[in-house]
Structure 1
Amino acid sequence: MPTYRHLFAPRDGYVFVVTYGRSGSTLTQSLLNAIPGYAIRGENANLTHLFAKAIHLVREHEMFRWRREDLGKPRAERRPYLQPILGKPWDPWAGAEKVNPDQFSLALMDLFVRQMLRPPKDCRVCGFKEIRFHEDPSFFRHHLDIMRAAFPKTRFLFQRRNHEAVARSSWWAKQPREQVFSQLRLAERLFADYIAEHPDCTMMLDYERLVSDPEHIRAMHDFLGEPMDPAAVKAVLARSLKH
């Protein structure tokens, strides 16, 4: 069986920052990267969403699923549709019964780590931040569940920010305010629901507290099981962002 060595290389697992645009998540990314051995990358246009969609399809599409389910059954116990064709080269979906969804998932995420995250040799915790998870609300939970199953020792940091501040920032300021607030409320409902379901591997961060309350940053470090270096944190907070 493949070892998926790139995926399993960071010995202390993965941290993903889940948020929306202009939430101050680049600050969080910087705070995480100040922890020795961390390599938390920036946005990737929600690429894992595409991978998760493919994984979900292979796992749940009936043409794949029926064939996997019936492959080990005696012919007479298979679905009538599959009795004369399963395992035969004239099956319209020939070979679908051999696709293992779990291995497919691990292989895709191993590729993602190798080609996209590219953790350095001294990396012990890898990951990325992304502002687009909430853009497919119906798939949000599936997306994160698939990541949690594939990436070892997954932790999710969700981040929110005062909605008025977000609405005044960058591209949000060009959109109708109520439309902006509606998107932010939706995103935060998704975040809160997932945290309620998985409290052991999730934490909510507030941008305003990150920039004003060292204990909030310490709580993040505690959640991750990492000591906080006050000097490193101070250096990150002193660095102004120009993007």
Structure 2
Amino acid sequence: MNFSSVLIVTYGRSGSTLLQGLLNSIDGCLIRGENHNFCYGLFKAYEAITNTKNHYDNETKSFEATHPWYGAALLDENRFIEDARKLVLNQLNPDALQLNCIGFKEIRYVDCLTRLGEYLNFLEKLFPNPAFIALTRDHDQVMSSGWWQKRQDAKKTEARLTEFEEYISYYGKNKNNVFHIDYSDMINQTQNLQKMFEFVGVPYNKAAVENVLSIPHSYKTKPEESVTTHTLQVEQVQQPIVQYARIDESPLQNLQTITITVSGVVVLKADSGKDGVLIATDGEHEYPVSWKISSPLIREKFPENPNARYARFRVEHLQITTDRAIDIYFEDELANRYLLFKILLKETI
């Protein structure tokens, strides 16, 4: 492998346990789960040692027993790193397994945004030959989780996620040990997922990846009383005025209700000359669609297209049945409609 350590750097409900599973499918690679960011305490201790050594006149006078900082000059930040590394590796690998790579995933980096750069630099010292894999996910999917809703309001969450992503993107710009992957790359098995395996230095094993993806990860859900489930099938229609469009994956699987919320992205081509609205309809009823919601990740994907800055959409309270599809259109100023998606409900027992 190209690295001796791999750290998954992300936030809650990003799909980090799934990424953990994919990395653990590599022979000789051990990626543990989250640990309440216990290395941050080591970072603070390291900082205290360096601050103590840098305190004025500690270098010479602190050897005197009458000095208030007696012995401060004997503190050794390099020895601390060596000792801390042994401590961390013993905690992660108490059985002393013979490994090619070790690490863990952590979701609490958003709690230390103001010190994130310094903290990542410390982790780069602490872990042997480390790689950082930055994991992101569509913000609507992340914020739909009750885990986030219990902690802060949506605006604060959006701001923190965006700030984290912008910083980690900046941090990794000139580094060859930082790789960015999105949740959608994993579940859709995109080329970027293959590049991640190339990045860590192992061949892409399609069978192993598909096996991991077939296994539920993270917390188990409570059993449902109903034995009938519903799954949405999405058919996308290519239109010449559209540069990029997709429906989010997460809300479309294992549905237990026919009242649904659908979200996604529609980016008109920069030179389309079109403006208008999105409309969702079942043929009898039309549903209001909120469109042109801030989309920072899509903006990064298409930086030259101003339409990518506000490209997300969301439509709630859709009533869908097995015999009636939902169509989502773009309607321009002249009331011309362009079909983008056809959503069908499939029922299984």
Task: Compute the TM-score of the two structures, normalised by the length of structure 2.
Answer: 0.59
C-alpha contact (below 8 Å) 1:17/1:130 kept by paired residues = yes
After superposition, the Cα gap between the structure-2 partners of 1:48 and 1:167, relative to the gap in structure 1 and judged at 3 Å, is: same
C-alpha contact (below 8 Å) 2:81/2:126 kept by paired residues = yes
Paired position in structure 2 for 1:64: 53
Tell me which amino acid in the other structure corresponds to 1:38.
Answer: C
Give 1:213 deviation, angstroms: 2.6
- Point out the more displaced range, 114-123 or 128-137: 114-123
C-alpha contact (below 8 Å) 2:32/2:103 kept by paired residues = yes
Matched, 1:32 2:30: no
Which of 166, 169, 182 lines up with 1:192 in the alignment? 169
After superposition, the C-alpha distances for 1:7-39 in whole angstroms (9 at most, x for unaligned) are xxx995100000000000101000000000001
State the structure with bigger RCO (CA 8 A, min sep 6), 1 or 2: 1
Which of 57, 60, 82 lines up with 1:106 in the alignment? 82
Give the superposed CA RMSD: 2.0
1:78-157 equivalences under 5 Å are 85-118=61-94, 120-157=96-133
Paired position in structure 1 for 2:154: 177
Percent of aligned pairs sharing the same letter? 29
Give 1:171 deviation, angstroms: 1.4
Paired position in structure 2 for 1:7: none
Aligned length: 218
Q: Indicate the SS of the match to 1:203.
A: strand
Structure 1: runs of 5 or more not aligned = 1-9, 72-84
C-alpha contact (below 8 Å) 1:39/1:119 kept by paired residues = no
Matched, 1:159 2:117: no
After superposition, the Cα gap between the structure-2 partners of 1:69 and 1:192, relative to the gap in structure 1 and judged at 3 Å, is: farther
Tell me which amino acid in the other structure corresponds to 2:198.
Answer: D
Larger Rg: 2
Paired position in structure 2 for 1:233: 209
After superposition, the Cα gap between the structure-2 partners of 1:11 and 1:176, relative to the gap in structure 1 and judged at 3 Å, is: closer
After superposition, the Cα gap between the structure-2 partners of 1:217 and 1:11, relative to the gap in structure 1 and judged at 3 Å, is: closer
C-alpha contact (below 8 Å) 1:67/1:96 kept by paired residues = no
Give 1:214 deviation, angstroms: 3.9
Task: Compute the TM-score of the two structures, normalised by the length of structure 1.
Answer: 0.83
Give 1:178 deviation, angstroms: 1.0
C-alpha contact (below 8 Å) 2:31/2:103 kept by paired residues = yes
After superposition, the Cα gap between the structure-2 partners of 1:202 and 1:161, relative to the gap in structure 1 and judged at 3 Å, is: same
C-alpha contact (below 8 Å) 1:32/1:38 kept by paired residues = yes
If each structure's strand is expressed as a fraction of its own residues, which one has the higher value?
Answer: 2
